[in-house]
Amino acid sequence: MASPASTNSMDASFATPDVSSAQPAAAGPRVEHFLQRIKLFSTLSYDECQQVLKRMKRRDFPPQHVIVREGAPGKSMFFITAGAVEIRKKDPNTGIDFLLSEMGPGQNFGEMSLLTGKPRTASVTTIQATTCAILEQKDFHDLLMQFPSMGLSLTTILAERLEQSNLQGGIEFINLAKLQFDPRVLALVPQIMMLQHKVIPVAYINNRLTLAMVNPNNILALDDLRRIIKGVMIEPVITTEDDFRKFMSTTYAQLMKKNETETAAAVVAAVPSRTETAPSTSIEDLDMLQSELIRDLTMTESTNEGDFETKQDLMHASEDAPIIRLGNSLLGLAIKRGASDIHVEPMEKDVLVRYRIDGVLQTVQSLPKKVQMGLTSRLKIISKLDISEKRMPQDGRISVFMEGKPIDFRVSTIPCKWGEKVCMRILDKSNTSLGLEKLITHEPTLRLVRELINLPYGIMYVTGPTGSGKTTTLYSALTEINDPGINISTAEDPIEYDLAGINQVQANKDIGLDFSRILRAFLRQDPDVILVGETRDKETAHISVEAALTGHLVFTTLHTNSAAGAFSRLNEMGIEPFLVSSSTIGLMAQRLARRLCKNCKESYQADDATCDYMSVPRGSTLFKGKGCDQCSGKGVRGRIGIYEVMKMVPELRQMVAKGALTEDIHNKALQLGMLDLKKYAAILLLNGDTSVEEVLQVVSVQE
Ligand SMILES: [Zn+2]
């Protein structure tokens, strides 16, 4: 140890500026002794502290002075009375000094070596001019004999230290703010993984990665990293959650910005002239890379665990940081824009990205061909698909958390001429869109639906093409009747929303767990209400009918255009008309039309031909969207449901039992007061909810 600035024998005059005011002119029993602030001596009286003080040596150290060096023998302990020190420890593998902690007046160090007789485990350096009271080993032992209460204090201190060390699993804490970071080391681990597992690569030397972790027991994180950096040895160190956040939002963002703008610029530069179809979206997407949204997008599923050795190239391409960010930005932007589907379509010279928003596909971006392999592989990896299989269609799933909400992507791939096309359906499981009153804006129709779903048994069919919102309607119905007193079970493919208090079963055709099999199992589980995602085969249709006839309420969907169309579809599946007639309680057909933007819609006087065609009175005032900032100039924003609800009344039952024609049943229902899709749409038109153009896109109005 280098020579200190001064060494004095301890006496009553030993005092630092900040404690001198507490120092009495004449020692009194009630006045605090500065040594009492040190935990070890906190139980001693003023006079006893004076005796301790006599055995101590005062030492003043200049700034940046090494008081104790790691590895040196320890023969004394130190009590800081003024100033501040840093406790540092060298990582043997990387040679990096980690800051373990800082200490100030009232704290002590060096007692461990004093007790164990082992070399110092860390170095202590002064940050500023520091004064310590030093106690030698021999004096320390004498004091312990003389003042047994000091021994008790010491056991408390040691117990606390042990507890802290157990908490950390024997792993050292580091202070991120004091480290120098190499962007190349940081780039070893994708940002998404850093955020997901709360880890930061600190140093990488000789295949050893020093990894700062908020939770060093996170085995998943270690596994994931080993997958990305093959054969790496990971040395975990601990950082606090606070430090981690600070680091990611400041240091990391700054360091990576340079790298990112370079690679991002390269991607933009490579985008071909197709940009006129999607002006400014590239820039917007790159903004997205930086945005909070993407930071919040964390994968909840780890990457596929498979034999990647033979797939090195694909893996390599897919783990490129810009590719990972591109993949994330595609998902993030889709969610932000409220898209329902993402299409990644390889073309001859580029890769098209399209989103389905409010039911309509829109081109978002055209990417350079060179990102195709990496991006496709990346999407396949996070969806747990086999990346080496490119000739067969596959399907999988991604789960992400965005802004605290769980969002699932159902992913499918299909080999196309210019490469694999990836299509992703977004399943927002936060079920914020649920609620019959949110869906059905027409009061009498809402009442009718509520009447049907509250019947004790029977089947309710919801029909319509894909993407018409059938599932949302049924889920909303389920949440409405959900009650701890009844057993609700659902068989789904996929599970689109998470519903509390409902038994949801995911169908899995790979293992033979189809709807009919789940249904049969449900019937042995004392069910009250059953939802079958879709009736698409004879067996499922049969069991549903059977369940309805034996006192259960069954909800399901069918692919037919109209409510009445369900009957012929069921007959085609081989269900006897009398069984259909007696088991069905109601049918709904539905469509989703784009809703006019409330901000910019304008009324106009519709001409007679339009009025006649749309079944609204001549001279009606209708509405159209003008386009404004709020609707991105489209004039439409969000969607609204068009419903046709058929309640099974005796007249209709008789017709169905006799196998009447779909058209005849439909007309009879109209006579009995049913609103069909066309009539329901007319109500929406007159309300100014949607426009003629939008209705014509989803409802066939010709008779
Ligand atoms: Zn608008």
pLDDT digits (tens, 9 = 90+) for 75-100: 888 988 889 998 877 655 445 566 66
Token output for 163: 């507890």
Residue 409 CA, ligand 1 centroid: distance in Å: 29
Residue 358 CA, ligand 1 centroid: distance in Å: 14
pTM beyond 0.75, yes or no: no
pLDDT tens digits along 556-587: 999 998 999 999 999 999 999 999 999 999 99
On the question of pLDDT at 272 being above 50, the answer is no
Mean per-residue pLDDT, 623-648: 92
Cβ atoms of 646 and 602 within 8 Å: the answer is no
Peptide bond into 577 cis (omega under 30): no
On the question of pLDDT at 168 being above 60, the answer is no
Confidence of residue 278 (pLDDT cuts 50, 70, 90): very low
Residue 633 CA, ligand 1 centroid: distance in Å: 6
Confidence of residue 8 (pLDDT cuts 50, 70, 90): very low
Residue 319 CA, ligand 1 centroid: distance in Å: 41
On the question of pLDDT at 264 being above 60, the answer is no
Which of 193-202, 469-478, 534-543 is predicted with the least confidence, judged by mean pLDDT? 193-202
Cβ atoms of 559 and 565 within 8 Å: the answer is no
The 8-class DSSP code of residue 33 comes to P
Residue 630 CA, ligand 1 centroid: distance in Å: 5
Residue 602 CA, ligand 1 centroid: distance in Å: 10
Cβ atoms of 128 and 17 within 8 Å: the answer is no
Confidence of residue 466 (pLDDT cuts 50, 70, 90): confident
Token output for 277: 């179809």
Q: What is the DSSP string of 363-382?
A: EEEEEEGGGHHHHHHHHHHH
Residue 615 CA, ligand 1 centroid: distance in Å: 26
Angstrom distances, CA of residue 91 to CA of 65, 68, 165, 181: 21, 17, 17, 15
Residue 627 CA, ligand 1 centroid: distance in Å: 4
> Of the segments 255-264, 519-528, 577-586, which one has the largest average pLDDT value?
577-586
pLDDT tens digits along 381-408: 888 888 788 888 998 887 777 666 777 8
Q: Comparing 45 with 619, which gets the higher pLDDT?
A: 619
Residue 433 CA, ligand 1 centroid: distance in Å: 21
Confidence of residue 314 (pLDDT cuts 50, 70, 90): low
Confidence of residue 442 (pLDDT cuts 50, 70, 90): very high
Contacts of 489 (CB under 8 A, 6+ apart): 502, 503, 504, 505, 522, 525, 527, 529, 530, 531
Percentage, residues of the chain above pLDDT 90:
35
Mean pLDDT for the chain overall: 80
Q: What is the CA radius of gyration of the chain?
A: 36
Residue 631 CA, ligand 1 centroid: distance in Å: 4
Residue 407 CA, ligand 1 centroid: distance in Å: 28
Residue 169 CA, ligand 1 centroid: distance in Å: 58
Contacts of 607 (CB under 8 A, 6+ apart): none
- b vs e for 500-525, b when ≥16 Cβ sit within 10 Å of the residue's Cβ? eebebbebeeeeebbbbbbbeebbee
Separation between Cα atoms, residue 54 and residue 52, nearest integer Å: 5
Which of 123-127, 223-227, 497-501, 618-622 is predicted with the least confidence, judged by mean pLDDT? 223-227
Separation between Cα atoms, residue 339 and residue 317, nearest integer Å: 27
Confidence of residue 661 (pLDDT cuts 50, 70, 90): very high
Q: Smallest Cα–Cα separation from 199: which of 188, 213, 185? A: 213
pLDDT tens digits along 668-701: 999 999 999 999 999 999 999 999 999 998 888 6
According to the model, what pLDDT value does residue 275 have? Answer: 31
Please classify residue 610 by burial: count the beta carbons closer than 10 Å to its beta carbon, then call 0-12 exposed, 13-18 middle and 19+ buried.
middle
Residue 438 CA, ligand 1 centroid: distance in Å: 21
On the question of pLDDT at 547 being above 80, the answer is yes
Phi-psi bin for 518: left (phi > 0), alpha (psi -120 to 50), beta? alpha
Only one residue has tokens 């008790």, namely 152
Separation between Cα atoms, residue 381 and residue 375, nearest integer Å: 10
Q: Kindly report the number of other CB atoms within 10 A of residue 196's CB atom.
A: 21
